[in-house]
Amino acid sequence: MASIGSLRFMIETTVDNSVLLLNVNSRRPKFSFLGSKQKTSIGLCARDPTFSFTKTLGVKPVSVSSKDSVETEDGYDESDDAIQATIEKSKKVLAMQGDLLKQIAERRKLVSSIKSSIVNPEDTEVLYEERGKSLPELDFASTDATNSSYEDNGAPFSSSYAYSRTHESPEVIVSELTTDISEESKETVNSLPLEKIPADKDFSKQPESSNKATVLPSFLSETSGSLDLQYETQEELKEPDLQVVNCGAGEPLTEDVKPPPLAGANVMNVIIVAAECAPWSKTGGLGDVAGSLPKALARRGHRVMVVSPRYGNYAEAQDTGVRKRYKVDGQDMEVAYFQAYIDGVDFVFLDCSVFRHMGNNIYGGNQMDILKRMVLFCKAAVEVPWQVPCGGVCYGDGNLVFIANDWHTALLPVYLKAYYRDNGQMIYTRSILVIHNIAHQGRGPVEDFCYVGLPDHYMDLFKLYDPVGGDHFNILAAGLKTADRVVTVSHGYAWELKTSEGGWGLHNIINENDWKFKGIVNGIDTKEWNPEVDVHLTSDGYANYSLETLKTGKAKCKEALQRELGLPVREDVPLIGFIGRLDHQKGVDIIAEAIPWMVGQDLQLVMLGTGRDDLEQMLRQFEGQHRDKIRSWVGFSVKIAHRITAGADVLLMPSRFEPCGLNQLYAMMYGTVPVVHAVGGLRDTVQQFDPFSEAGLGWTFDRAEANRLIHALGNCLLTYREYKASWEGLQRRGMTQDLSWDHAAEKYEQVLVAAKFQW
């Protein structure tokens, strides 16, 4: 009749004073229970569809053993006439129950009226939020530090996610639910059933609607009148005299009963392994993904961990005290594990001498040094679920999925197979490999295989033939073959990787594994990249703005940017921005070819980036030749990147290839219109403007050539000058998109589930 969470037990409702204590210092919420003096007891059992009243009500338990005989607890079989006596007793029981429920309802009304006359509603918050007038769904099965119950395979029950694992969650101590069953009740085998329940009923599910009346047996319903016992009346029983004791917070308690996780039955343990993770370490988009995707998955209810090297002294991470030695190239290396819990995610950092002080040059050193660092990183990462007790409990290998990123961690799926699955261990653990940039593959001579510490027959996974250099050692190739699923960061890039031009020598392997290949567009961190709350727009004349204040707010940012960079302050002139690495991929040389045409137009150009020396010198030269129209910021500044994104009217991205691209997403979020080369993620995220249907988000050009860039940019500038309504529509459509990680996390979840059930 009543079930809390997925547990099967008896519930005792008490009508005694109870005290609800708040402990604001709890890191992960736990529930403990205190017993209280019993006054009235009603037995409700989810496992056995019967009800019984104990001696508290003064009724002797009776069970119906068959149609023709009644067996009392003393074992005495009465004649057929005893059935009538049983019916009479049952009628009394039902009448007493109805009286009891009426008394409780009257007392609740009295208590409610007393509270309304005493408690100030402005200073007191509701203790329990009534959802459908039923008891809140709590998980009383576990009081460990993780507030999470696990099945045999390590999968957390969905009810364990009823409460948030944030620092602000209170530790609630409520009256203990006891089952005071009399000796007579314990000896009784069967009670009078209230409702017929199939033998195969799944009691882990929540009870049906509280408004559904209880169905009585036919032989009782004929004589008991029209008395309806409803779930609503039974499940509304609550402590009438709850008092709030504030243990140091200065604020009354609000108990937030959250709905089930968005992932539902697909809740899993997820470990994301990446060589960089923002904000601690970052060289590009990979760091952003490793810092944002885990939080989005955690919001969907998954238990998520991120594993990354500890390049410096991170203030948030605390030493777990766990030490482990791994052999790399015949040398023992000790790894220490540091851990932090932020925004519902466990961040684990691996500390070793080879990682320290590499934060500013993560992929620095010669090819052999980098290879040894990544071998150590992957060997340690694959054992993290057993080594680090996050919140007091290790993740274990049940219901577990690793997400490896790029070639740096492509050895992890191989180690998972060679060290564990081939030996009958971690057989239910899965691995996913995400390709952010296939141009970097971890290539080397065939002899490098001896450093990875694998059996000789694994050599075939790494050996790849190159028409130019012959056979070579390729880590990314081995990861693609071994991973259970492969993801890349956009649909367009997924298509390009299957071609000989875009696959960089791995297109054949990708086509052979096309069945496990999928493209998912990255999201952006809408807390950092949001014009309404951007911290870099709060000074120097800049202003935060929203969709409603777009016209005035963006104009202020444009004026402030022109003034800060020393350009003429003009509202009517289009301001064009470029932010990116100065190399061949980003197409900076294409912009250089278009510079003579640009300086002949009435426009301003701002460029920010660092990279090749010759391209940096070219930017300085352009600024020196055209001081009134061009500004070049050689280097990289997060603050200036935000300000250019907010103050520019147009963002140029002429990349020759772009797996996903984030700058065009940032630009649209700020009402800046992108002009991009239609490749990879740029083609997926920027739809060509159609002036007839007033649709689209920007302008695209189909070949990485200066004349194509000039044509697209010319149409863009014409719209900016002559068609203000269309231009404002472009800005507003870009700003109203859902570019957050929540949508991408849902797509990743589908891949996780597909990998879980793959054999």
Could you tell me where the beta strands, DSSP code E, fall in 565-665? 575-579, 604-609, 630-634, 650-653
- Degrees to nearest 5, angle at CA 390 with 384 and 396: 50
Q: Which helix (H) or strand (E) holds 387?
A: helix 384-387
Structure confidence at residue 470 (pLDDT): 85
Interval 665-712: pLDDT, tens:
999 999 999 999 999 999 999 999 999 999 999 999 999 999 999 999
Please state whether beta strands 443-444 and 470-474 pair in parallel, antiparallel, or not at all (unpaired): antiparallel
pLDDT of 483 higher than 50 = yes
Taking each helix axis as running N to C, give the angle between helix 706-722 and helix 724-735, from 0 to 180 degrees, rounded to the nearest 10.
110
Q: Whole-angstrom Cα distance, residue 697 to residue 187? A: 74
Is residue 134 situated within a structural domain?
yes
Parent domain of 206: 10-246
Structure confidence at residue 13 (pLDDT): 33
Structure confidence at residue 260 (pLDDT): 80
Number of alpha carbons in the 13 Å side-chain half-sphere of residue 551? 6
Is residue 147 situated within a structural domain?
yes
DSSP string, 150-167: B-TTSPBPGGGGSS--ST
CB atoms within 10 A of CB 366: 7
Interval 1-38: pLDDT, tens:
333 333 332 333 333 333 333 333 334 433 333 333 33
Q: How many domains does the chain have?
A: 3
Q: What is the mean pLDDT of residues 422-438?
A: 94
Interval 29-50: pLDDT, tens:
333 333 333 333 333 333 333 3
Candidate from 56-60, 367-371, 715-719 with smallest mean pLDDT = 56-60
207 shares its domain with 294: no
Q: Which two tokens stand for residue 196?
A: 């017929």
pLDDT of 166 higher than 50 = no
Is residue 397 situated within a structural domain?
yes
Is residue 701 situated within a structural domain?
yes
499 shares its domain with 549: no
Question: What's the mean per-residue pLDDT of the chain?
Answer: 77
* pTM as predicted: 0.66
544 shares its domain with 516: no
CB contact at 8 A, 743 and 389: no
- At 624, the pLDDT band (50, 70, 90 cuts) reads very high
| Domain end call among 197, 216, 246 | 246
268 shares its domain with 213: no
Structure confidence at residue 116 (pLDDT): 61
182 shares its domain with 103: yes
Going 495 to 499 to 503 to 507, the CA torsion angle's sign is: positive
Is residue 20 situated within a structural domain?
yes
CB atoms within 10 A of CB 322: 15
Structure confidence at residue 86 (pLDDT): 78
- At 117, the pLDDT band (50, 70, 90 cuts) reads low
445 shares its domain with 545: no
Structure confidence at residue 284 (pLDDT): 79
Structure confidence at residue 247 (pLDDT): 39
User: Bigger pLDDT: 193 or 406?
Assistant: 406
Structure confidence at residue 196 (pLDDT): 39
User: Bigger pLDDT: 589 or 82?
Assistant: 589
327 shares its domain with 449: yes
462 shares its domain with 489: yes
- At 85, the pLDDT band (50, 70, 90 cuts) reads confident
| Domain end call among 520, 554, 573 | 520
- At 229, the pLDDT band (50, 70, 90 cuts) reads very low
- At 97, the pLDDT band (50, 70, 90 cuts) reads confident
Structure confidence at residue 101 (pLDDT): 83
Q: Whole-angstrom Cα distance, residue 643 to residue 648? A: 8
Percentage of the residues of the chain whose pLDDT score is greater than 90: 59
Is residue 499 situated within a structural domain?
yes
CB contact at 8 A, 304 and 298: yes
Interval 549-607: pLDDT, tens:
999 999 999 999 999 999 999 999 999 999 998 999 999 999 999 999 999 999 999 99
Is residue 256 situated within a structural domain?
no
Structure confidence at residue 592 (pLDDT): 95
50 shares its domain with 128: yes
Is residue 210 situated within a structural domain?
yes
685 shares its domain with 661: yes
pLDDT of 70 higher than 60 = no
pLDDT of 487 higher than 50 = yes
Structure confidence at residue 309 (pLDDT): 96
pLDDT of 654 higher than 70 = yes
515 shares its domain with 545: no
Structure confidence at residue 678 (pLDDT): 95
143 shares its domain with 273: no
Question: Tell me, what CATH number does 660's domain have?
Answer: 3.40.50.2000
| Domain end call among 520, 554, 576 | 520
